[in-house]
Structure 1
Amino acid sequence: MIQLHIATRDLIRTCTSVREGETKLGETVQICDSLDDMATTSGTFVVFGICEDIGVQANYGKPGARKAWDSFLTTFVNIQENKFNKGADIILLGHISVSPDIKDIAQEPADSLGTIVNRIDSKVAAVVQRIIESGKIPIIIGGGHNNAYGIIKGTASALKKPIDIINFDAHTDLRSTDYRHSGNGFSYAFKQEKNAYLNHYTVFGLHENYTPQYILDAIEGGSYKDSVSLFLMEDMLLEAAQVSQFTKVKSTLSKKSLGIEVDCDSIAHFSSSAQSSTGFSLEMMRYYLTELAQLPLPAYLHICEASPSKKNKSQIGKALTYLVTDFIRNYREHHSI
């Protein structure tokens, strides 16, 4: 069963450590009773989680991404309400859970897991569409990168036009579309007739070692030639080069509604589904989101593939919270809300 669990004030209260003389975000964040109440609830940003890693396992990846939302939530509600963080700006919606009727997922054929991913796509798309139709910006935490497809579908359906995407990722996620998994969310988005969902796709920080040749061929001279741009990590190992390349990319991203994708695999040493010893620093990722929040038309923020362990769940929660609050704060400052 795939279900949206709406956050309640009691739930948020149990996660929030109240301290005399201080106000925590969990005490001021907005809630709504249902998706129907979204439009009449104050707040520009709607934060929700996706608690699944079936798409990752269908792509032969390491499970654990389902735990990211809980790590994030515990930290997020306990940051300070102050002049930088305003609970009135934020609706804490809740999370989507996935309970497939499979006793042993690890033993299930990958393509069978893909049928569950298809169902997750539909639920994610429906929730995102309702949020955007309510005039708000979804911020989605957790789960595998398979959820990018549902988010893109929901966004484009709400806006009634295709969107542009920037994806900070070690991988393109443009694998073949034989069945759904975490490695083909963007190829499925491109598969729609007349590019109904996805207009142009930029991958920033791609790793040469993990990109199949057939995908490079499709980008360099095949079906993706005019619709995908690649920026290789190997071409910007120094932070100065990263800033220079990002400035170039940013100048091209102000024409259409923009989906912002952060795969935590792109952050060096970050506990994720495909953790890497090289990549962007967390500080650089914070910088990227700070800058993108200032663009005219950011449509959503999706942070995925974080895979916290018992030992590091607090640090992962803090890292995810920094990324979210950086985006919210800079959007608010540059869009007069």
Structure 2
Amino acid sequence: MAWVLKKGALLLICGALLFTGSAMLIQQARVAFFDGGESEQTRPAPLNVTLLHGQTSDLQGAFPVDSVDNYTIERGGKDAFSLLLAHYKDDQNQQRRAVLFPKGKQEARALPSPTGLRQAIWQDAAKAISENTPKDALILSWWDDGQRIHFLGGRDAWVSKPSSQTFISPIWKQLQGNLLLASDSERGQLSSMARWLTMDSEKALAEMRQMFGSSRPIYLLVTNDLLMRLGEMVDYGGTSLAFSSKAVPAHDNLHGDIAQIKQWAYEEGSGNYLVQKEGLNYHVWTTPKGSVTENKSLLVRLLPFVDSLKKLPEGVHLVYQSHWGGHLSVYRLDL
């Protein structure tokens, strides 16, 4: 994937999103890791988490790893998700943490695991970031993405630590004792990031310009997983965004599948939709009919919704987008 994408390639990405998909097992990830997003964070969930402390690892990152915690999450007696928590020190010898995705065991003819796909996506993105951004670049993202940016890509992330609102989720609560928590000032940065992602894109970019100016190169990283983190963002002061979502079975007739997806998106919502392939299904999100808040939000403008791909906000340049349905995107901001 070339680092700099030509403007005309944006619409081709939309086609790739529909035609190739990502095989992401989104429903499994939603239930196990993000726990449904939005206000359902508070819903009790029958979970069994197994933790192996201090396991040795061959993790490859920008910094040596001191130790790795391995979390296996089970639901209903079945493995639902796995996470790694890397302990390491940065260039100033300060303790750091990074939530990572294990490769997972890939059996012949089996669908890729959600963690294995994310691991591959992040390895490719980190390589592009480390090779194609200035060393003094500052990358804006949600907090756990910020951890991966720093550990895997070796670049500074503006937000990389959670605060108390994150631990409403039963999954994150299991990791709370081993994560480093945000200070008061870092808590304010979390709140700003939550507001920017969920507010009107032009207003968000104006606030970013006022905050950062031209002191250093600024980038912004988003992933489709943020659609399942909206409740957490609301808890940090973000705007509540509403989406309809549906799983559509995949058939041999691709054109028929696309027509069905478009019809549902226009009947259920505004017709502005995002598609990812999840195994034998497409998972589709659409913004509400008559939507202004959602369609103008920075998050929707930067994720691969079909309308968003036609025109980015002024001063925002797409410089990297992963394959597997455009799951991860990196933008350069002209501030």
TM-score (norm 1): 0.36
Larger RCO (CA within 8 A; separation ≥ 6): 2
Q: Which has the higher strand share?
A: 2
TM-score (norm 2): 0.36
